[in-house]
Structure 1
Amino acid sequence: MTDVAKAAAVSQSTVSMVLNHVTSARLSAETRSRVLAAAQALNYQLPQAQQKAPAREAQPTTIGYLVDEISTSPHPVVSLDGARDAAWQHGYTVQLVVTRGKPEQEAAAIACLQAQPGLLGWIYSTVFTRQVQVPAALLELPTVLLNCQDPAQKLPSVLPAELAGGQAATEYLLSMGHRRIGFINGEAWMMAAQQRLSGYRRALAAAGISYDPALVKAGDWMSGTGFDGAMALLQSPQPPSAIFCANDLMALGALEAVKQLGLRVPEDISVMGYDDQEISRHTHPPLTTMELPNYDMGYAAVETLLEQAASKAPPRRRLIQTDCPLVQRHSVRTL
């Protein structure tokens, strides 16, 4: 090494850094080239003990978790909790990146996580249930979709059983003696709104009750449209005895409408929500609702990913629908 240093006109430490491939050393390309040329001319090689050992293949330790948004709704945070707990129980950690739905951020996040050793696979999640175009780079490793589906339906997807949830909510109101049930829905283009309405209609049909469009009001998931929809329903010539709101925020608006009309819940009108957000426990009266199973969905997504990784088989379409349980409180009464 001393001879190489003299031939290259550098210090012995510089020779050591070049031959040991210390990339963090602040050496010019010309210096590195000169040292390598001198070593080659002198037929010098590092002693065997100093040669860099071949890197061993890293064992998977991490699950990449991509989500478009996490701060605008409580639901994706709870899904992440479920995924984190499932991963930890199996000896993995979850690394989260929020992409805000921007392709350039998504691509950068994927490249960053792919560069890390020990990446097992991907959870690809969305805040709203919808169809997605899955980035091709994800298909190199096991991938599970959470709260979304790919149009080609080639990947496993974990979704809430929204149609069954809408049906179960309506069946509960029917079991309490209600026959004229109003429904305030979310934005019609969203998958959750479409399926909850389908469940409502299916339950009515099974009970032999004709669907009445006058009992269905359009909303936008916010309390203001819940208020407006409930006002319209309650001031109609044939008001319903119960109002089923497609989420808890619209149910809050419905409760306020009932109060402003001088009516009482549940004595005069029953009100039911959907999602089981924290606020539903603290309304007056506490809100009967359907639980959106975010935690269970996140947990199931990781378990599905681990199964897929263990099988080493190509990905296949698998739809996992997680039940939405009924949460009975005090805003619905028996007629």
Structure 2
Amino acid sequence: MAAHGAEAGGRVTITEIARQAGVSVPTVSRVVNGRSDVSPGTRARVEDLLRRHGYRKRPNASASRPVLLDLVFNDLGSPWAVEIIRGVEEAAHAAGAGTVVSAIHGRSGDAREWTRNLRARASDGVILVTSAMNTLHEELQSLGVPLVVVDPAGSPAADVPTIGAANWSGGMAATEHLLALGHRRIGMIAGPSRLLCARARLDGYRAALEGSGIALDASLIVPGDFRPEAGFAGCNALLDLPEPPTAVFAASDQMALGAVEALRGRGLRAPEDMSVVGFDDLPEVRWSAPPLTTVRQPLADMGKLAVRTVLRLTRGEQPDSPRVELGTDLVVRASTAAPAERG
């Protein structure tokens, strides 16, 4: 099995080298990739094992062999993924690197097949945008492939650089906007609780209410999965409350569009009957009816920074910071207004 930057003699994996050397897999990977952040004694021990097991240094990427990066998602079907792909491909093209885009759909079989293909094409680095982080991280460690995680689902290993958005402050800004308009009963259609970004947006919503002295009403928080259908169902659930909210913050643009459609299905309108705020600022929401007030997260920029970071890792360099959060901005359009008087 080949490690990144080396070709195995067919007897052991980089995981076995780590076990024999009494060090971690990332430490072996750093030695293989020529990184300087390894003590001389440890480096000598690992290099001795690599020589004994027949590892040979692979040629570095050159004009004849450009850098190849893998970009892997859980699902490619959302406009959110398209924006990240756009940023990755733009930055990779500028750097003269090639990209391979894959989806594993949350299935272990697909993940194993992707790992086999990755090994076969000797990819130089991986950008991971999926909640299947733990399984794939272990596989990638065994191969010694540099890894960057975009929008992590949880807390990745300390040696894995991550790039995300300021989800907490974005959730707070969305809610504070509605509070400033005069809304006091504000619903929340939350994202999947297993995802760090969804939890942070919900926490921002809670913090804004607390900061305004408004008691949290758990009945105003409904679960969602970032898809339009969840926004539609969540908005209907909020409308069915004895005292419906006058505004709703949906944790994704797609759910916000579903909420607008739920209002339309009842003969209601945004913002006249309920204000709606989303999160993402996907291109389509600028032309929705009404144009959607939302929190912009810089998806394409996240993809570009991921490319720059993984390319540094392939050169044996360290990123300036292992954890990066790019800023979010409130974009006010026509889907929010002051609450209407209710008789």
TM over 0.5: yes
Moved more, 70-79 or 95-104: 95-104
- The equivalent of 1:155 in structure 2 is 160
- The equivalent of 1:166 in structure 2 is 171
1:132-164 per-residue CA deviation (whole Å, 9 max, x = no partner) reads: 541245763433222336642211111232222
Q: Which residues in structure 2 correspond to 1:197-216 (within 5 Å)?
A: 197-216=202-221
1:291-332 per-residue CA deviation (whole Å, 9 max, x = no partner) reads: 34221111011112233344x357897111122332221000
Gap change, CA 1:232 and 1:142, over 3 Å in 2 = closer
1:146 aligns with 2:153: no
Which of 333, 336, 340 is 1:332 aligned to? 336
Deviation at 1:86?
Answer: 1.5
Gap change, CA 1:160 and 1:139, over 3 Å in 2 = farther
Moved more, 66-75 or 76-85: 66-75
- The equivalent of 1:249 in structure 2 is 254
Deviation at 1:130?
Answer: 6.0
1:209-261 per-residue CA deviation (whole Å, 9 max, x = no partner) reads: 22111211123333343233323323433322211112223222322332343
3-state SS of the aligned residue for 1:274?
strand
4+ residue runs over 6 A deviation: 314-317
Deviation at 1:273?
Answer: 1.5
Letter in 2 for 1:331: S
Question: How far apart are the structure 2 equivalents of 1:138 and 1:297?
Answer: 26
- The equivalent of 1:125 in structure 2 is 128
- The equivalent of 2:322 in structure 1 is 318
Q: Assess if the C-alpha contact under 8 Å between 1:181 and 1:244 holds in 2.
A: yes
Which of 178, 189, 208 is 1:184 aligned to? 189
Q: Assess if the C-alpha contact under 8 Å between 1:132 and 1:150 holds in 2.
A: no
Deviation at 1:87?
Answer: 2.3
**Gaps spanning 5+ residues in structure 1: where?**
1-54
- The equivalent of 1:289 in structure 2 is 294
1:113 aligns with 2:121: yes
Q: Assess if the C-alpha contact under 8 Å between 1:62 and 1:93 holds in 2.
A: yes
TM-score normalized with structure 2 length: 0.70
Gap change, CA 1:222 and 1:152, over 3 Å in 2 = closer
**Gaps spanning 5+ residues in structure 2: where?**
1-56
3-state SS of the aligned residue for 1:200?
helix
Gap change, CA 1:132 and 1:181, over 3 Å in 2 = farther
1:300 aligns with 2:271: no
Q: Assess if the C-alpha contact under 8 Å between 2:75 and 2:104 holds in 1.
A: no
Deviation at 1:201?
Answer: 0.6
Gap change, CA 1:214 and 1:282, over 3 Å in 2 = same
Deviation at 1:270?
Answer: 0.7
Letter in 2 for 1:273: G
Moved more, 250-259 or 296-305: 250-259
Moved more, 282-291 or 218-227: 218-227
How many corresponding residue pairs? 275
Gap change, CA 1:226 and 1:63, over 3 Å in 2 = same
Aligned identity (percent) is 35
3-state SS of the aligned residue for 2:279?
coil
Deviation at 1:112?
Answer: 1.8
1:92-139 per-residue CA deviation (whole Å, 9 max, x = no partner) reads: 33344445552321221221222xxxx6x3133124596654124576
Q: Assess if the C-alpha contact under 8 Å between 2:69 and 2:99 holds in 1.
A: yes
Q: Which residues in structure 2 correspond to 1:273-288 (within 5 Å)?
A: 273-288=278-293
Letter in 2 for 1:109: N
3-state SS of the aligned residue for 1:273?
strand
* Structure with bigger gyration radius: 1
TM-score normalized with structure 1 length: 0.71
Question: How far apart are the structure 1 equivalents of 2:100 and 2:321?
Answer: 25
Question: How far apart are the structure 1 equivalents of 2:264 and 2:103?
Answer: 40
Aligned-CA RMSD value: 2.9
